[in-house]
Structure 1
Amino acid sequence: MGWLAVGDGYEVALVEGRVAARATSGRAAGRQLKSLPKVLKDHPEVERLRRFAEWLDRHAAACVAQVDTWMVSALPVPTELVVRVWPDEAWQSALRDLVVVGDDPDEVGFLRGVTDSGELRVVDLDGETVRLSPRTVTLPHPVLLTDLDDLREFAAELGIVQRVEQIHRATWRRPADLDGKATQVSEFAGGSFPTRSALVARATSLGYRVSGARATCRVRDGAHTVEAAVWIGEPWDYQASTGPLSWHGPDGRTLRLADVGPVAWSEGMRMAAALYAGREIEEETGA
């Protein structure tokens, strides 16, 4: 966005998400000012830019949230859609450097750009830039990536930083020696909080939904939507602590642990661990 003339002797523009001003006359002509002059703070053009900056922030957050949903759910995304939204800086920031998989499971690499002809430019694990043009691509959840360690190592070499947490997302794999009839995990139970409202605040700040006595997250795992739930106490409880973690199917039925898919398992454990990490820790007193 270019500079817009406002009043006598000033221009304004959005610079790094904030309204900035520069003088058009005098010794400071052409130089960006350190702060917005008082005479401009209530100017209609400045207010319009502020509202536009707020919209851009909301748009960027919405793009990240949508891409995160695609990734967590491992939903196929039309390649044409990726190509169409790529020119938008907010979409590009959310999508750039995510691991994508084409029609062939071996077509794995970091998304670096798109071509004018509608192909995706991807850097594979051999360091080669290849072009993919499948009908759809997936942005796999990291627990589904067999080459996750190699991808993390290669990303470090390239200096890749993902806007949407994917390859460095904390993951958990379901143990092979589970009790066939068990329906709960208590690994992160017992984390005490001074008040239930503090535990609720932590859950919501992490992006989780609180419904009744549980903090929940919904995950599309394969063909079904599964809800992971951590007990956090009844609404009328004052003090609270994290309880067991369980998973529920589309009909609300509690699932056996053996029936929970890899993505739902990992995301449920991630939620439980994140809530538990905010617990009160008693300091040990020395002898």
Structure 2
Amino acid sequence: MGWLALDEGYEISLVEGKVAVRRPEGRQLKALPKALRDHPEVDRLRRLAEWLERHEAACAAQVDTWMVSSLPVPTELLARVWPDGAWQAALRDLAVVPDDDPDEVGFLRDATPGGELKVVNLDGETVRLSPRTVTLPHPVLLPDLDDVREFAAELDITQRVEQIHRPTWAKPADLEPAATEVRDYAGGVFPTRFGLAARATGLGYRVSGGYATCKVRDSGRAVEAAVWIGEPYWDDETATGALNWHDEDGRAVRLGEVGPVAWSEGMRMAAALYAGRRIEEGGDEA
């Protein structure tokens, strides 16, 4: 944005999300002068910066939801939001799959007002697509994911929303189909339940009752992965518990019925929580 002149002999603007001040001759100051700290225009810029930060986070969260749930996104919608810098940052370079050609995977580079998408396909060619909808596939659904990751590295692709390099877990073929819980990441000890809950919310997960949870729509079915983190209001030492999945009615889902995206996202949450556990000196840090 441009610079706003103040009567006090300064100019202010937002630079990299923060209020910046300069003299009219162009010299930018390292700190906000005392005379401007309570200035109405400075306060207005601060509130704008806070709103922009929330907007950027909301855009990224929505795109992440589309990706995790493999929801079809109208191309027209992408074209409408693309001029917004926050939306563009969240969407740019994500892998997309058009509904009219599921084999045509490409990295999104542009969305025109006319509803046309410009993507770089896996042959390194820039092509234009005009599908009615696209999906932003979860990486566990992409065939030859290692090759896609290698190609993305060659293109020096950086994604605002973690997709291509998102950690994934494949469901083992030898698990007990009727079982309903996984204990791979159970037993991670934390000094307090509050600390474990804070880690969960800091990672973007919801804490409800004694569980950290994340919702996923997999193969058209909504499920919720949940990891036990301890009784609410328990102030003493606690540990991560088992991971399980529930349907929309709260019924436990058998492991054999958990879809690939729900499995991967549930394991990702459990692993991320477990990674913050207390490590005793000389203990296992794996």
Aligned to 1:63: 59
Pairing of 1:250-261 with structure 2 (within 5 A): 250-261=248-259
Aligned to 2:237: 239
Aligned to 1:214: 211
Matched, 1:32 2:28: yes
Aligned equivalents of 1:180, 1:226: Cα separation in 2: 17
| TM-score computed with the length of structure 2 as normaliser | 0.95
Aligned equivalents of 1:99, 1:127: Cα separation in 2: 13
| Offset from partner CA, 1:208-257 (integer Å, 9 cap, x none) | 11222211111111222101111122225422111111111111111110
Which has the higher Rg, Structure 1 or Structure 2? 1
Aligned to 1:3: 3
Kindly provide the amino acid, as one letter, of the partner of residue 38 in structure 1: K
Aligned to 1:89: 85
Aligned to 1:156: 153
Aligned to 1:143: 140
Matched, 1:274 2:283: no
Aligned equivalents of 1:80, 1:234: Cα separation in 2: 46
Q: What runs of 5+ residues in structure 1 fail to find an aligned partner? A: none
Moved over 4 A (4+): none
Aligned to 2:260: 262
Aligned equivalents of 2:87, 2:71: Cα separation in 1: 17
> How many positions carry a matched residue from both structures?
281
Aligned equivalents of 1:142, 1:172: Cα separation in 2: 10
| Offset from partner CA, 1:143-195 (integer Å, 9 cap, x none) | 11113111110111111110000011110111111112211111111111111
| Offset from partner CA, 1:107-149 (integer Å, 9 cap, x none) | 1010011234321000011100001110001000111111311
Pairing of 1:55-204 with structure 2 (within 5 A): 55-103=51-99, 104-204=101-201
Matched, 1:228 2:225: yes
Matched, 1:248 2:252: no
User: What fraction of aligned residue pairs are identical, expressed as a percent?
Assistant: 74
Kindly provide the amino acid, as one letter, of the partner of residue 2 in structure 1: G
Aligned equivalents of 1:236, 1:8: Cα separation in 2: 52
Matched, 1:23 2:23: yes
Equivalent residue in structure 2 for 1:50, among 42, 46, 49 = 46
Kindly provide the amino acid, as one letter, of the partner of residue 133 in structure 1: S
Q: What runs of 5+ residues in structure 2 fail to find an aligned partner? A: none
Q: CA deviation at 1:33?
A: 2.2
| Offset from partner CA, 1:80-119 (integer Å, 9 cap, x none) | 0001100100000000000000021111010011234321
2:177–2:257 Cα contact (<8 Å) kept: no
Kindly provide the amino acid, as one letter, of the partner of residue 35 in structure 2: V
2:245–2:252 Cα contact (<8 Å) kept: yes
2:72–2:133 Cα contact (<8 Å) kept: yes
Stretch moving more, 4-13 or 57-66: 4-13
**SS of the counterpart of 2:181?**
coil
Kindly provide the amino acid, as one letter, of the partner of residue 170 in structure 1: P
Kindly provide the amino acid, as one letter, of the partner of residue 260 in structure 1: V
Q: What is the alpha-carbon root mean square deviation over aligned residues? A: 1.3
Aligned equivalents of 2:35, 2:195: Cα separation in 1: 43
Kindly provide the amino acid, as one letter, of the partner of residue 268 in structure 2: R
